[in-house]
Structure 1
């Protein structure tokens, strides 16, 4: 599996941004991104000239659009064509999601707890969700240095709550990039796990998001697999129960977590320190280890009793604050009915 560094929430002057698509693509390439999703507000006209810009910058540009309404903002990625957002009321978001899916795209809640009206109309999510299984992902980190922001802490907790309720929802980050401006703030990266094959990066990216093959970071890339009965399960996978085994043998498995500090070398900076690598799940902290600034693999024994999901988290100190630096999406466990 190849991990592609992606920025999934961007804007040009075709909506409220102040940059051309070429300026955006060049800046993204300089920051070590493999791909961006262009998600202008309520329009896809900014994609004009995409092919030539991709050729010039060697950067993949995924078509998208941010539905910008009175009731919430929804980032949609990978559609084949424009999907009209205007007739969707507060109770109609599932109809809109179905139309996005019909066009081959995925739909996620953008910055669901950002301050709303009158400062940012619709930025606070108010759409009525009757079936969380239809939400592809939640943008849990928004903006620069996202892990210190209170609205992102609420979004991360929302994602965790939904995992605890048994939903299989992905989590992403998005800079919500509008301007060409230098920043010293840490910038988040959404790494998408792409399978080998002949599909375009766009279709692979949509598949990775829908399957939850995602790792998010402001620095190193962390990935995880869980090994059980000689089978290896990746991010987004469901580990089945083996109904032929007794309960005691069902319980034991191994989580293998790899931390790669070499990604996007020279572009980000976090001081060497005692980092904390956690394996967490619906039961809380499953296990933890102290690690240093070195590429390495770590193993955790898992007793899956009462676990319905697990993810890896890397914690450390950035600019004097103890923060979440990186996290994986979840691996799930089948629960006996």
Structure 2
């Protein structure tokens, strides 16, 4: 059965995410319909772009990989066009002139594809990476296929600007070692496994200036607040990591924030509190998922942080808001 947006405790994805897999299977003459049936997915709803529980779609992809190839995720992405992967995003990307602008489109468009995947740019060890992560646990069926599919999609996005033969020099993934994929991506010099999130090195061809995206319409403080309101929700976001994003030294960032009466820690906590409170009031998402969405991988840490902000636990806060609206 399809899943509605308001369903509690669920991570959801549009069935549009698996259409490239279906097209690949049809080319390979694989009976994907019987596999969809095993996954509890109806063909008519699948093709009409309904929302499903992400775990069901991922289990479907995992079963497809058992019938086809262990490199299914990366193969589907690399053999599909951007238009086949995400037609609406592809149309918007066709009208921009840089990878930086294209990534902004991807980030803004994620909510039409799923409720739990994040993309962002980050400077790591002196180089720019396009990063991605999902709130699905690593042990879930299909996790590796989904992660490699996202990785391949990013490569295809980069090729739109760097040329059709481009490969990154380095790829990082959260999943376990997958020798078949390593063999498939022989052109990639270095692949790291077991990382906190997925990341693809885009090198110095691109110079992401996140704050500058808003510079024409906002002053430095407003642009920084806009940026931090998003980055604060990433797990383990430290001032050092944010400094890499904005290209400032820690001392300079601290000084500029202090001049305006703020500190990094205070702003990060404020943005996390605002986001968590809004999600508790306005959605039926589980408390654990809300914790993940605002940067906490551990539920107890989120509960502790929220109680420090609001004086009550997330569950009590949600109940109080429901009663006040009754």
Q: TM-score, normalised by structure 1?
A: 0.30
The structure number with the bigger radius of gyration is 2
Structure whose residues are more often strand by fraction: 1
Structure whose residues are more often helix by fraction: 2
Q: TM-score, normalised by structure 2?
A: 0.30
